[in-house]
Amino acid sequence: MLKSLLDRFQRLNPLLFACMAGLIVIGVAFVYSACSVREDPELRMLYMRHAEVGVAGLAAYLLLAWLDYRTVIRRWGGLVYLFCLVLLVLVPLVGEARMGAQRWLFGIQPSEPAKLGVVMLLAWLYSRRDVKRGAVMFFLTVVAVGVPAVLILMQPDLGTAMVLVPTVFAMLFTARVAPRIVWSCVLAGIAAAALVLSLIYTAERAELPRERREQLIAMTQLKPHQVRRLQVFLFPDKDLHGSGYNRRQSEIAVGSGGVWGKGYLKGEQYMLGYLPPSVSSNDFIFAVLAEEAGFAGSLTVLLLFLGLLVSGLWVAFRCQDDTGRLFCVGIITLTFSHMFINIAMTIGIMPITGLPLPFISYGRTFMLTMMAAFGMVQSVSIYGRESETRF
């Protein structure tokens, strides 16, 4: 027993753990920064909640690392997926609305574990020998991912729904499922994005009559606030006090940090409220960090993410079975998408979407989900190197 425990411990990927722990420590530190200016004593203690979730997440991490991921994914993957689906259905029925969106159910956001559920489901599905990897499988995937994605979109939470797309495509690509359809879809997706952007660009740029402009914008099939975010992305200086405000203020925060930053707890953008306190501890936490720690701090975070993601892929690379490989690829792609979109929107090179920065942003459900997911990646590191025949 002790020997096997020691054996498992030696198989842990230390870089994977170290990078995650580093990001969480940074997260607690800057959530403390961001919430220190809040008047409400409960909000002022937000960093403690973040740290508590870190501790709880560590327990989940260790537990899931200790359990064999094959058992977890193959036996429970489908159930986790179904359970999340039920929660997502319940959200519009009994969930609570905050800031214009109905995302919460008993204090958690079911859309976050749903992402993990989808990855687990697909990792299980694609690694089965008895499934065909043709068009049928592809459409099965579309349905399996489509149902929770539509439920999430209805909340509305475009960002979370969108982040599923690269994750699923990365898994389809790795599993070699219907490569032609996958590539066609990727190209079609790029074309659709280009079309939407060009529609909005034409509507804003060209001197068109009002009804024609509204017609063009209606063709994008997007909600008004989503259209506004894309407009801000295309024309950043258009509405600096309205919908472009957050983008502008986070750009100022990041830029005014300079090379070495203003020093810990000395960020002015969040302290003076130019960066709204409602977003500074979650979606825009990177702006707080970049202002206080400068380019040096930004680079540190990027390097930690690089270490985390590459060691995650290294675990997949070393893994001997498809379940572990696909799961790792899914989780790493999901994490990367979150990180990339979040940092890119903070500096204005992507449209604003409410996506948190993994391990750093305040957000308890997301944090717990991500730690659980990386616990399972760690489990792949421990058990995935053994060949199937030894079972």
Partner 1 sequence: MESYGQKLTDSWRIALFALLIAAGIVFLAVSLHRVQVERFSVLALDQLRQSVRRVQVPGPRGRIFDRNGVCLADNRASYCIAYYVEELRKRGRWINTIRAVDADVDRLAAELGIPRQLSFTAISNHVLQSLPMPLLAWRDVDQETLARWAETVEPFPGVDVFVQPERIYPQGALAAHVLGYVGRDRPLPLPGQKIHFYLPEMIGKQGIERQYNPTLTGTSGGRLIRVDARGYKHAVWEGEPSVAGADVHLTLDIEVQRALEKVLRGWRGAGVVLDPRNGEVLALTSSPTFNPNDFVPVLTPGVWKRLNDDPALPLFNRAVLGRYAPGSTFKPVTAIAALRHGISPDMTYVCGGAFELGTMRLRCWNTYGHGEIALRKAIEQSCNAFFCHLGHTIGYAPVYEEARRLGLGTPTGIDLPSEGGGLLPTGAWKEKQMRDAWRPGDTCQISIGQGLLLTTPLQMALLTSVFANGGTVYRPHLVRRAGLPETLNMMDWPPAAITLVRDGMHDVAELGTGRRARVRGTAVAAKTGTAEVDVGGVRRKNTWVTAFAPFEQPTVAVAIMVENGESGGLTVAPMVHDVLASVFGETPREGDDTADTAAPEVRGD
| Interacting residue ranges for partner 1, rule: CB under 8 A | 39, 70, 74, 127-130, 170, 173-176, 251-259, 268-269, 271-274, 276, 290, 294-295, 298-299, 302, 305-306, 309-310, 313-314, 316-317, 319-323, 325-326, 329, 332-333, 336, 340, 343-344, 347, 349, 388, 391
Taking the least distance from each CB to partner 1, the nearer of 55 and 259 is 259
C-beta of 198 vs 256, nearer to partner 1? 256
Residue placing its CB nearer to partner 1 in the complex, 48 or 349: 349
Provide, rounded to whole angstroms, the least separation between the CB of residue 130 and partner 1.
Answer: 6
Which of residues 87 and 329 has its CB atom nearest to partner 1 in the complex?
329
Burial code (b: 16+ CB inside 10 Å, e: under 16) for 58-76 equals: bebbeebbebbbbebbbee
Closest CA to 4 of 81, 72, 68: 68
The DSSP result for 50-104, as a single string, is HHHHHHHHHHHHHHHHHS-HHHIIIIIHHHHHHHHHHHHHHHHHH-EEETTEEEE
Amino acid at 114: A
- Minimum distance from CB of 349 to partner 1 (Å)? 6
Minimum distance of partner 1 from residue 296's CB (angstroms): 9
- Residue 252 Cβ vs partner 1, minimum distance, rounded to whole Å: 5
Q: Which two tokens stand for residue 47?
A: 């960093």
Give the C-alpha separation, 358 to 23, whole Å.
8
Of residues 104 and 169, the one with the C-beta less far from partner 1: 169
Task: In angstroms, give the least distance from the CB of 309 to partner 1.
Answer: 5
Token couple for 134: 């043709």
Which residues lie below 8 Å from residue 313, measured CB to CB, with a gap of 6+?
Answer: 328, 329, 332
Nearest to 20 by CA among 332, 353, 383: 332
Closest distance to partner 1 from the beta carbon of 338 (Å): 12
Q: Give the 3-state secondary structure of residue 204.
A: helix
Rg of the chain over Cα atoms, rounded to whole angstroms, equals 22
In the bound state with partner 1, the residue whose beta carbon lies nearer, of 116 and 309, is 309
Of the pair 204, 268, the CB lying nearest partner 1 is at: 268
Minimum Å gap between C-beta 328 and partner 1 is 8
